[in-house]
Amino acid sequence: MTDLQASLIVIGGAIVVAVISYNKWQEYKAKKSVERAFSSSHDDVLMASGDAAIAVPVHAERLEPTLSGGDGSEESFAHAESAEPQDADAQHDAPVDMMPPAEERELPVDYLIDCTIPLALTTQLRGEKILPALQSLRHVGSKPVHFAGQHIDGGWEAITHGGIYKSLMAGVQLANRSNALNELEYSEFVMRLRQIADDFDADPDVPDMAEVMVTARSLHHFVTEYDAKLSVNVQSNGAPWSVTTLLAALERQGFDVRPEGRLVMPDGDGGVLFSLSTNVTLAEDTTSRLTLLLDVPVVAPERDGFGAMIACARSLSSRLDGTLVDDSNQPLSDASLNEIGGQIEIFYADMEAADIPAGSSRALRLFN
């Protein structure tokens, strides 16, 4: 080996060591920057309330608040069984297909978002006899199927063991985020329901398919129009952040890691306020961008999901030396946030007017 070759080997080795050392140093800096950002010396304002929270919404890539919930459009998908309830005495004597709306909203079967089919029983049945038969009909396609029973005292309730029922009501959901109930799903629902009815010697009052399809498509149109998700991003102003250290710090700040890998901020009542994404795969070591996402129609206005998400985004931006930007990487100004805040108020008011308030059980079923 000549002196030249030996020198080249030494130089090459020195370069490799320098590159490895540099990469390690960068990883160390990314980790330490996150650790410093979430050290105990910082106030915990990720979920601050009151004066510390900023109650304004964020940039919405899909938000187009031109929806009309107060022009009567809600009537276009109200099912035929949604007739006005009579007085208290009349409710007890109401026919099988007239479930009082005030009671229905707490029941598995919902007159507004389900195609309801009453089943008149020839004899009273106990819940323990009914329930096993219903287990075979829980879904048709992607649409859930629910049942309610009319108790012997005239009131409607979820069917339970020990209950005695004089009539039943079946309901298949008319639409969800994916699509509207279609002819094949409805036909399957009716066919399987008739089999259950035969076991109970019941007589189902099946609505016309064409009318059901029109109602289903109208409801799905509503779901499509109000399917809004708002996002805000925190973009690093300098070096990227260590993902491993960042995830551990976010968990300490209240985020939950779901089985599918999503980070979510719980609302304290079993639901989700908003989610967070690192925008990288599990194989990546660092990230330069965090995205917070709010599913608007499934979070009730009183939970202030917008304000909570913005407060969290601002806190992350401050701690991590980042900037709040929209999906086009443009900085989010207070003026634009305030403008969208007004639009969101209209959005929620329209949903309320359509009798499908954001965050309600109806909204949770439809936007699923």
Domains by residue range for the chain, with CATH: 33-66+226-366 (3.30.1400.10), 73-81+97-224 (3.30.1400)
Give the pLDDT confidence of 245-279 residue by residue, as tens digits. Answer: 899 889 988 999 887 778 999 998 889 999 999 99
- How many C-beta neighbours within 10 Å does residue 31 have? 18
Residue 26 — pLDDT band, cuts 50, 70, 90?
Answer: low
- Kindly tell me if the per-residue pLDDT of 77 is higher than 70: no
- Kindly tell me if the per-residue pLDDT of 86 is higher than 50: no
Tokens of 256: 């939950």
**Distance between CA atoms of 14 and 129, rounded to whole angstroms?**
80
Residue 176 — pLDDT band, cuts 50, 70, 90?
Answer: very high
**Distance between CA atoms of 161 and 245, rounded to whole angstroms?**
50
The lowest-confidence range among 188-192, 198-202, 340-344 is 340-344
Kindly state the average pLDDT of the residues 199-210. Answer: 94
